[in-house]
Amino acid sequence: MTAGKRGRPRKRSVSILDSTRAKENARNLALLALGCVVLLFATATRSAADNGPHIMGAGATPDTCALCHRVHTAQSPYLLKQAGEALCYTCHGAAAAGASTDVKDGVGYANALRSGKPLPLRGGGFKYALIDSAHPSGQQSGGSDPGGLVPVTAEGAAITSAHSVDSSSQTAWGSGPVSTEVDYGKTISLSCGSCHDPHGNGNYRILRPIPLESGASGVYVPDATAKVYTTDNYWDVQDQYAPGFIEDISGWCATCHTRYLSDTSYTESGDAVFTDRHISDQKAQGSANCIQCHVAHGSNASVEEASSMAVHSPNAVPAASDSRLLRVDDKGTCRMCHYE
């Protein structure tokens, strides 16, 4: 402040200055508040789609790229720190923290720090699963049973079948168009990234609309508004936070297993191998769709060793130890709907 002729402060000039600063402060606070609201809204919008570091449109200055990539010291193509499944297991493996889902052991936790009790993962696991496949219940006569139960086990059991994640060559059974010549499906190199998009895409479980090497048309499965990865009943496959999941998932599975998808039973397809197929495109819990009978990652279900009971490959090679990703032992999956 400056002094006047009588040595008194010029209060008016100070008052005007204070008033100007107060207005500026108020404006800045308003802008800050608006920015916080925008940031909060943006964060809420992004967290509703995808999850963790796998977020579509991560922005101009993302801080998650280095979780997977190295600019000058990469050890794998695409500047990845590690190759294939080993990279995914750094977060989603058995001895890792950083993701709430341990897809190797088939369990999920409440948070990425993995505190609390592990619970059974909805898709099973690539090494172990907690599916009590020997004790299903709730079957009823005369059709599908939306109230069926396939319990969970207290401890994981070694899987008897799983989708491959090691980039090895696998037969995509039933891929391709209907063929009058014997054709089991093309050979593909299957890995985690074949089905999931690590950069996020707004699709359910970051599933690729077109899985790598499938050559199919895109199938979008709407994302869940909240992420629930665990279950207490392996027969309950509905996701309450993703109402369109069951409606669309069979079509997504059929991007690779094209000729498995059928809208009717007891009607010949014209294919030399996948001829008379069970209906598989129904759109409700307890009905005939791919995910109702099979888990996505790996199953610990068992099958009889007798060749008459074994779950064969489409090329009729006996596979007594292979449960084909089914949720129930032997032919128990059939009995969940067809009970006499």
CA distance 67 to 162: 27
Nearest to 339 by CA among 140, 137, 138: 140
CA angle 323, 194, 251 (to 5 degrees): 70
CA distance 1 to 186: 85
Comparing 84 with 181, the larger pLDDT belongs to 181
pLDDT for res 93: 94
Q: What is the pLDDT of residues 48-98, one digit of tens each?
A: 458 888 988 878 888 889 889 999 999 999 999 998 899 999 999 998 888
Quick check: 102 pLDDT over 90? Answer: yes
Q: What SS3 state is found at 207?
A: strand
Q: How many CB atoms lie within 10 A of CB 262?
A: 18
CA distance 215 to 96: 34
Quick one: 57 exposed, middle or buried, by C-beta within 10 A (0-12, 13-18, 19+)? middle
Comparing 317 with 142, the larger pLDDT belongs to 317
CA distance 28 to 77: 47
Task: Please list, in sequence order, all residues whose beta carbon lies within 8 angstroms of the beta carbon of residue 263, skipping any fewer than 6 positions away.
Answer: 279, 281
Q: What is the pLDDT of residues 264-282, one digit of tens each?
A: 998 899 999 999 999 999 9
pLDDT for res 9: 39
Q: What is the pLDDT of residues 192-239, one digit of tens each?
A: 999 999 999 999 999 999 999 998 888 999 999 999 999 999 999 999
Quickly tell me which residue has 């993703």 as its tokens. Answer: 242
The band of 19, judged by pLDDT with boundaries at 50, 70 and 90, is: very low
Quote the tokens at residue 205. Answer: 């479980």
The band of 310, judged by pLDDT with boundaries at 50, 70 and 90, is: low
pLDDT for res 306: 57
Q: What SS3 state is found at 18?
A: helix
Quote the tokens at residue 293. Answer: 């009978």
Q: Are strands 152-158 and 128-131 parallel, antiparallel or unpaired?
A: antiparallel
The band of 313, judged by pLDDT with boundaries at 50, 70 and 90, is: confident
> pTM surpassing 0.75?
yes
pLDDT for res 227: 93
- Contact status, residue 132 vs residue 151, Cβ threshold 8 Å: yes
